[in-house]
Amino acid sequence: MVNIFPNHSEILVSSFSCEEVARKIAAVTQRVNYMDLRDYAVNSPQFNGQVGQNCFQLSLVIKRANTFLPLIRGKMEPTKSGCILFLNYSLFPSAVMLLAFWSLITLLMTLFFIFYDRQWAYALACLAACLGNFGFSWVYFKSKLKESQIIFHQMLSLQEKE
C-alpha cells in the first residue's frame, strides 16, 4: 500500500543492547503533561514521548507549534552483538487528518468545477491547491525530518559505548 502522506522509514544498527538504547532514549525524553507548565521551565529534554521496553514514540521538543514535526515511532529487536532499531517518521495523526480533509475538499471542488459548473480555470486552481498543499507538506516534513534525525542520531551515538 502506498502512503501518500509524508513519512520516512530507516533501520539503524547499534552495538548497544536494547536495554541500553532504551535507557539512552529515556534519559533525554520526558512524558508530556500539557496541563503543568512548570515541567517545561525545569527540564530541558530533547524529546517528548514514551519509552517502553522494546518500543518508543518520540517527537522533538519545540517552543512553537509545528504541523510538520515528525512523530518518531521505533521498535528495537535484540541481536547477538547489539540491537536493530526500526524507525518510522510520520506526521502526527491530527496533521494527517487536516491534510486529508483539505485535500478532499479541494478535490471535491475540482470535480464540482469540472462536471457541474464547467469552469476549467477554477477546477485547475483547486487541483493546483491540492497538489501544492501536498508538495508543501512533503518539503517541510523533510526539513523537520532531517533536524529530528540529526538530533536522534547524535543523542543515541550508536557505536560509542560510554
pLDDT per residue as tens digits for the range 33-88: 655 555 555 557 788 899 988 899 999 888 888 888 999 999 999 999 889 999 99
Task: Tell me how far the alpha carbon of residue 120 is from its chain's centroid.
Answer: 36
Is residue 57 assigned to a domain? yes
Q: Mean pLDDT across the chain, nearest whole number?
A: 86
pTM over 0.85: no
User: Which residue segment(s) compose the domain that 86 sits in?
Assistant: 9-91
Is residue 14 assigned to a domain? yes
Residue of 133, 135, 127 whose CA lies nearest to 107: 127
Is residue 162 assigned to a domain? no
Is residue 80 assigned to a domain? yes
pLDDT band of residue 162 (cuts 50, 70, 90) is very low
| Beta strands, E only, 31-123 | 47-51, 55-60, 71-79, 82-90
Is residue 132 assigned to a domain? no
* Overall number of domains in the chain: 1
Q: What is the dihedral of CA 148, 80, 52, 29, to 10 degrees?
A: -40
Overall average pLDDT of the 17-23 stretch: 89
Is residue 118 assigned to a domain? no
